[in-house]
Amino acid sequence: MRILVNGQEINYEAGLSPGEIIPALEQVFREDRLVVIGIRVDGIAVTEDLVTILEKNQPQEVAITVVSLEEVVYSGLGHVSEGIPTLTAAIYKIVELIQSGNEGEGTLRFLDVISQLEEILTIFKHTVDYVTGLPVDLDGRRFLDELNTFQQRVGELLGAWENRDFVLISDLLEYELVPQLETFQEQTAVLLQKIKL
């Protein structure tokens, strides 16, 4: 099996199992602050755990694409910063639909918003990995505290969703998440200036 990382073939000891090769590569990626952004097995893009895939199949080639954590953070924060106004508008539309008794349409739109909120959480988790230990203080609070608050709000929102509590969903969206997103909008601008590549 050939293993390529960013197009470069990786040499490894013959006889090693995928369960040994992949963790060793992951360790190198962590040490070098690299993030996997794509995996192709025999030319087909995959999203499953690589060890699981390799245990199920006997591929000829595994191509892994990695980028620096700094690149992920910078491009991710830019994406978040640009998308927050659209996301906020979508949230207000959901609130309007729920408050007018049209929970069905609000629910359909809610699923897309949850997906976007989860994407923001992922980007911010990478950001925390990058800024941890750096003297990046935003508006008197650590970025990690903001992320924890945001995660809690998303968790509460999912709990309200499970209970079909549309009033709580509406309140959390309007009074908790929108202000948090507006704060993140300001903070991402500051972070982008501080970590400019």
End-to-end CA distance of the chain: 36
17 vs 87, higher pLDDT: 87
Where among 69, 94, 111 does a domain terminate? 69
The percent of residues above 70 in pLDDT, for the chain, comes to: 89
Query: pLDDT at residue 140 above 50?
Result: no
For residues 69 and 126, is the Cβ–Cβ distance under 8 A?
yes
Q: How many domains, the chain?
A: 2
Please name which of 37, 64, 25 lies closest in space to residue 122, comparing C-alpha atoms: 37
Identify whether residues 32 and 98 lie together within a single domain: no
45 and 91 housed in the same domain:
no
The answer to pTM > 0.75 is: no
Report the 10 Å Cβ neighbour count for 49: 11
* 90-104 average pLDDT score: 93
Tell me the CA distances in angstroms from 118 to 9, 16, 44, 67, 124, one per residue in order.
34, 36, 25, 21, 10
Range of the domain at 56: 2-69
Co-location of 154 and 165 in the same domain: yes
- How far apart are alpha carbons 170 and 99 in whole angstroms? 7
Whether residues 24 and 57 fall in one domain = yes
The Cα–Cα gap between 9 and 163 comes to 50
Same domain, 62 and 100: no
pLDDT of the residue at 163: 93
Kindly tell me if the per-residue pLDDT of 44 is higher than 60: yes
Which of 69, 88, 103 is where one domain is finished? 69
135 CB-near residues (< 8 Å, 6+ apart): none
39 and 95 part of one domain: no
For the record, the structure tokens of 197 come out as 């590549």
Greater confidence (160 vs 80) lies with 160
Q: Which of 31, 59, 43, 33 is nearest to 51 (CA)?
A: 59
Residues 50 and 104 in one domain: no
* 36 has a pLDDT exceeding 60: yes
Are residues 58 and 24 part of one domain? yes
Final residue before a domain boundary, out of 23, 51, 69: 69
Residues 32 and 105 in one domain: no
CA atoms of 117 and 114, how far apart (whole Å)? 5
Q: Is 138 helix (H, G, I), strand (E, B) or coil?
A: strand
Residues 18 and 91 in one domain: no
CATH of the domain at 49: 3.10.20
Same structural domain for residues 124 and 180?
A: yes
177 and 93 inside one domain: yes
